[in-house]
Chain A
């Protein structure tokens, strides 16, 4: 069935058309309650992306959590009895939450102190493990003693208490980050009841994400309807006719509801990008309807048959509308080429939304008009006539058009200059997406982030993980097999050991099984079992790479060099633990803050460390086989370039200072993951932009059946994209996810203007026989239609500027800029070029 048949069928069956639309809307609306918000930047990488898989493996292996950080900041020293009491009160309150993982909770009142013990004569007699501050000191001396103790514990200094002594921190691991907003709110509430001069700040990625999700939810409920309202009011301003402007609004609402409902119904989570689908779709959905209404009103004369006029109008508009919709959809579908799941979903659903809006427009709008009362149609006619009257807009457009023709030779160099400047701007673009920056400067999370990073070594984490490849499993396995087979032949049941050896290989459990065997066998086998035990033990010991003093010294040097580089606030690792315990075991003096000389010495030191209240803390830094170690880097910035610089620095360092035992280095942690997906974003966006550019160009050549017009049609979007990104570069605005997808939007909207402009121009030129006259004519109704659309979209989204969340403001601001720039480029550059290249 072609479109003409479909149109005549639907004009005859309006109730079916209405019914289908209502049914679709009702069905998809029913999906809305299932909405699930997702704000985890990790999801920017697909769940099987190697960097993400590694990150999560490391998180599990070293039991690392994304933590909410509560900072308690004082004007003077935090080491004062009353401040410390407040801190403890707060900590005790937080520990009551069921969602807090108390094992890994970090605060001054739960961690251990390791100190020397002295007898009455002052002789060093022993070592003591005790809670550092189970109860807050009540005296100045007590507070001073605590200060002295913290200064001797490198694992805590500048992590739990800031280097300037003015702030203390509490690190809260939660069972699920979805709980962090709720927990933070309760902490804030509790903090308000405390009688204290301390400032209490809450930050950390989970809270930023969770709170963003909450505010995004609110935002979606407020901003999208407000944007709809703004569009409605503008349409009202242009058309002053309620039944008329209801039509495009219905198309826009139905499109948004059906698309969002399908997205939710299909089980996709609503990510920050998808939350903007409504905002992106609304203007695109409205624009085509406005074209139909204008043209219908233009052609309709009183007393004519509405349906036949409609059929004529649609015949005329169908092709350009199809092409503008297809090209816009291509722009968004091209986002499917990026490797970033939320962007793919965003692109796919907006692309489909554009096609849906097109379908609704070409079927529903004619049906709607055909059902309008004669009086309403008369009003529509009047409204459009009113629009045709000359106002400021039309005066400006005529002047602009004349200018474009006369000063063509000046305009081209001016555009080239702007293009050059824009390219310089693009070269200045900094790629960076830090979830904390999603909040405005004065948002409590942003403030907390700033304050805490001023005091502490840094609230941004990256984990540098070293893994050793030392493994002599194969040789040993063979000799074990031979031994076991011998025993089997003698009738001993060693099947469990053999199975374990085959399945899991050599590990602690095998040692246990062999040890069991040694007790169950007769003495004639004991030698053989002992041999096996020794083989396995030696192998397990050899694998303990991160117990080797030379390895720990190497790690320690790397840590020191990292700090010296000035890029990293603090590095926590196993070396600090070993050195601290060693110092306290020995003299307690700085000279003994060193790695013991033998691997056994390290092992025995660590055995002591594990005799504390928190033995599990060790396993954040080394695995139980001592084959991999984790360095926890604390940085004051989560910025991409910063993290990249650190990664490069470490690579160079390792290249010039190789580890004494070969190890592989790899990165995990959210700050690092950000770098990974942001790199993918840049390359992915480039791919998607280039491919959609090529497809759209081919479509344009096909549409105009002319290479020249194909090129011309591509010019406005090329200029707009370059200028917009140039502007972003000059403004110093970081290239983040919303900015990245703007290219697709620019492509889709700029090409619309160009298609309408060139299509009309060619018709006029054939009609009038002169390019110059055709261009003059273009300054009338066609230019007004383009400008009106640009204004509707640009102004329609000003409510976004009021948002408390930066990505929405960004999108609102650049959406408006894109509209203005692409309309101007279309109305100024195209005429200038056309007049210069016209051969007639």
Chain B
């Protein structure tokens, strides 16, 4: 009962608030909000993630990992730790990321079986995240400064925004079209197009949940449209504002993941 009333109040507020705001919001504003909603919920956060990678033949692979995140500043630097638990042969593999906005991210990697800490870098952020259809950038968030935006249409519940890369050489697509929820500012669908205006790749949000007041994507999917292969990513045990100490994101955590914060 309580939730229904809350929901009613929320939607009523929105009915009044959104149209008024929508008139003024530019494409850039919407994207800023979307970026915040997608990647900066709370001051820090934790989630258990599970990926199911499905190839064009229907073969499935599973990857499971914990993500810890702490923001240095909204829209700005973030620290992340990704700790793998499955498959068991990669258990203990850890990524540590310092996400920057004005410069390239710093990424480190720990491979327990080789007992090796390595810095990894890539010419761009559109490399696969551990063999899935998610790019590294899909996990950490694409820097809004990379693109120019155009608000194409706005319906009652969503904005249609076209993003065009400023440096087309750094990406594999020509532009993308994002459908952003007006109430949550979460991009619910993003379609990437090639030069011939053909859709190549599609991200869809399948399920969201309110967690500590933040509407959070709990289940999403990225499809490779040319061959029907896809990856689904599900989150569980999401929580925000845990008060993660900075030490969790230190180099030491690569070899010794902070067990205390991993359930």
* Chain A complexes with chain B: yes
Using a CB–CB distance below 8 Å, which chain A residues touch chain B? 60-61, 63, 96, 98, 101-103, 112, 117, 125-131, 134-135, 507-509, 511-512, 515, 519, 537, 540-541, 544, 547, 582, 585-586, 596, 598-605, 607-608, 610-616, 618-619, 623-625
Q: Of A127, A135, A507, A601, which contacts B118 at CB under 8 A?
A: A127
Using a CB–CB distance below 8 Å, which chain B residues touch chain A? 50, 52, 55-57, 59-62, 64, 86-90, 93, 108-109, 111-114, 116, 118-124, 126-132, 136, 169, 172, 195-196, 224, 226-227, 236
Given A508-B62, A607-B93, A600:B120 Cβ within 8 A: no
Residues of A close to B57: CB separation below 8 A: 60-61, 63
How long is the Cα–Cα vector from A128 to B195 in the complex, in angstroms? 28
How long is the Cα–Cα vector from A633 to B13 in the complex, in angstroms? 67
Would A604 and B89 count as touching, CB distance under 8 A? yes
Would B88 and A541 count as touching, CB distance under 8 A? yes
How long is the Cα–Cα vector from A537 to B62 in the complex, in angstroms? 11
B255 to chain A, nearest CB (A): 14
How long is the Cα–Cα vector from A101 to B227 in the complex, in angstroms? 9
Given contacts A125-B119, A544-B89, A604-B90, 18 further A-B contacts (CB under 8 A): A61-B57, A63-B57, A103-B227, A112-B127, A128-B123, A507-B60, A508-B59, A508-B61, A537-B88, A547-B89, A604-B89, A608-B120, A610-B128, A612-B127, A613-B128, A614-B128, A615-B128, A616-B55
Given A537-B87, A585-B116, A600-B113, A130:B62 Cβ within 8 A: no
Would A623 and B227 count as touching, CB distance under 8 A? no
How long is the Cα–Cα vector from A135 to B126 in the complex, in angstroms? 17
Would B62 and A511 count as touching, CB distance under 8 A? yes
How long is the Cα–Cα vector from A125 to B56 in the complex, in angstroms? 37
Residues of A close to B226: CB separation below 8 A: 101-103
Which of chain A's residues has its CB closest to B236's CB? A519
- 15 pairs, A vs B, C-beta closer than 8 Å: A102-B226, A125-B119, A128-B123, A507-B60, A508-B52, A511-B62, A511-B86, A515-B50, A515-B64, A537-B86, A596-B114, A604-B111, A604-B112, A608-B111, A610-B131
How long is the Cα–Cα vector from A585 to B52 in the complex, in angstroms? 27
Would B60 and A604 count as touching, CB distance under 8 A? no
Residues of B close to A613: CB separation below 8 A: 126-128, 172
Which of chain B's residues has its CB closest to A125's CB? B119
Would A128 and B56 count as touching, CB distance under 8 A? no
B221 to chain A, nearest CB (A): 14
Residues of A close to B196: CB separation below 8 A: 96, 98
B121 to chain A, nearest CB (A): 5
How long is the Cα–Cα vector from A397 to B61 in the complex, in angstroms? 80
Which of chain A's residues has its CB closest to B115's CB? A601
Given A600-B112, A624-B55, A130:B123 Cβ within 8 A: yes
B12 to chain A, nearest CB (A): 34
How long is the Cα–Cα vector from A98 to B121 in the complex, in angstroms? 32
How many CB-defined contacts (below 8 Å) exist between A and B?
142
Minimum-distance CB pairs A-B, first 8: A126-B119, A610-B131, A130-B123, A603-B89, A600-B113, A601-B113, A615-B128, A615-B131
Would A611 and B89 count as touching, CB distance under 8 A? no
Given A601-B113, A603-B89, A604-B90, A128:B121 Cβ within 8 A: yes
Q: Of B56, B88, B131, which contacts A607 at CB under 8 A?
A: B131
Residues of A close to B111: CB separation below 8 A: 585, 601, 604-605, 608
How long is the Cα–Cα vector from A126 to B117 in the complex, in angstroms? 8
Residues of B close to A541: CB separation below 8 A: 87-89
Given A512-B50, A537-B87, A611-B120, A604:B113 Cβ within 8 A: yes
Would B50 and A134 count as touching, CB distance under 8 A? no
B67 to chain A, nearest CB (A): 16
Would B87 and A603 count as touching, CB distance under 8 A? yes
How long is the Cα–Cα vector from A91 to B129 in the complex, in angstroms? 26
Residues of A close to B122: CB separation below 8 A: 128-130, 611
A744 to chain B, nearest CB (A): 43
Given A117-B119, A519-B236, A512:B52 Cβ within 8 A: yes
Would B169 and A135 count as touching, CB distance under 8 A? yes
Q: Of B87, B118, B126, which contacts A585 at CB under 8 A?
A: B118
Which of chain B's residues has its CB closest to A519's CB? B236
Which of chain A's residues has its CB closest to B63's CB? A607
Q: Of A128, A585, A610, which contacts B130 at CB under 8 A?
A: A610
Which of chain B's residues has its CB closest to A116's CB? B118
Residues of A close to B136: CB separation below 8 A: 611
A309 to chain B, nearest CB (A): 73
Which of chain A's residues has its CB closest to B93's CB? A604
Residues of B close to A544: CB separation below 8 A: 89
Residues of B close to A519: CB separation below 8 A: 236
Would B120 and A605 count as touching, CB distance under 8 A? no
Would B169 and A134 count as touching, CB distance under 8 A? yes
How long is the Cα–Cα vector from A677 to B127 in the complex, in angstroms? 43
A126 to chain B, nearest CB (A): 3
How long is the Cα–Cα vector from A615 to B51 in the complex, in angstroms? 15
B46 to chain A, nearest CB (A): 15
Which of chain A's residues has its CB closest to B128's CB? A615
Would A129 and B127 count as touching, CB distance under 8 A? yes
How long is the Cα–Cα vector from A60 to B227 in the complex, in angstroms? 12
Would B88 and A624 count as touching, CB distance under 8 A? no
How long is the Cα–Cα vector from A815 to B132 in the complex, in angstroms? 60
Which of chain A's residues has its CB closest to B59's CB? A624
Residues of A close to B86: CB separation below 8 A: 511, 515, 537
Residues of B close to A125: CB separation below 8 A: 118-119
Would B114 and A604 count as touching, CB distance under 8 A? yes
B134 to chain A, nearest CB (A): 11
How long is the Cα–Cα vector from A605 to B118 in the complex, in angstroms? 12
Residues of B close to A603: CB separation below 8 A: 87, 89-90, 113
Residues of A close to B121: CB separation below 8 A: 117, 126-129
Residues of B close to A134: CB separation below 8 A: 123, 169
Would A129 and B120 count as touching, CB distance under 8 A? yes
Residues of A close to B52: CB separation below 8 A: 508, 512
Residue among A117, A596, A605, A607 with the most chain B CB within 10 A? A607
Would A512 and B62 count as touching, CB distance under 8 A? yes
Q: Of B56, B118, B127, which contacts A126 at CB under 8 A?
A: B118
Residues of A close to B129: CB separation below 8 A: 611
B173 to chain A, nearest CB (A): 12
Would A596 and B119 count as touching, CB distance under 8 A? no
How long is the Cα–Cα vector from A308 to B129 in the complex, in angstroms? 92
Residues of A close to B89: CB separation below 8 A: 541, 544, 547, 599-600, 602-604
Would A619 and B118 count as touching, CB distance under 8 A? no
Residue among B62, B89, B114, B195 with the most chain A CB within 10 A? B89
Residues of B close to A600: CB separation below 8 A: 89-90, 112-113
How long is the Cα–Cα vector from A619 to B132 in the complex, in angstroms? 13
B27 to chain A, nearest CB (A): 29
How long is the Cα–Cα vector from A540 to B86 in the complex, in angstroms? 12
How long is the Cα–Cα vector from A127 to B120 in the complex, in angstroms? 5
Residues of B close to A102: CB separation below 8 A: 226
Residues of A close to B120: CB separation below 8 A: 126-129, 608, 611
How long is the Cα–Cα vector from A613 to B120 in the complex, in angstroms? 14
How long is the Cα–Cα vector from A541 to B120 in the complex, in angstroms? 27
How long is the Cα–Cα vector from A605 to B115 in the complex, in angstroms? 12
Which of chain B's residues has its CB closest to A623's CB? B59
Residues of A close to B90: CB separation below 8 A: 600, 603-604, 607
Residues of B close to A96: CB separation below 8 A: 195-196
Residue among A130, A586, A602, A615 with the most chain B CB within 10 A? A615
Residues of B close to A611: CB separation below 8 A: 120, 122, 127-131, 136
A171 to chain B, nearest CB (A): 17
Given A128-B121, A515-B50, A547-B89, A605:B114 Cβ within 8 A: yes
B180 to chain A, nearest CB (A): 28
A121 to chain B, nearest CB (A): 14
Would B113 and A619 count as touching, CB distance under 8 A? no
B135 to chain A, nearest CB (A): 9
How long is the Cα–Cα vector from A390 to B201 in the complex, in angstroms? 83
Q: Of B87, B116, B119, which contacts A586 at CB under 8 A?
A: B116
Would B114 and A607 count as touching, CB distance under 8 A? no
Residues of B close to A616: CB separation below 8 A: 55
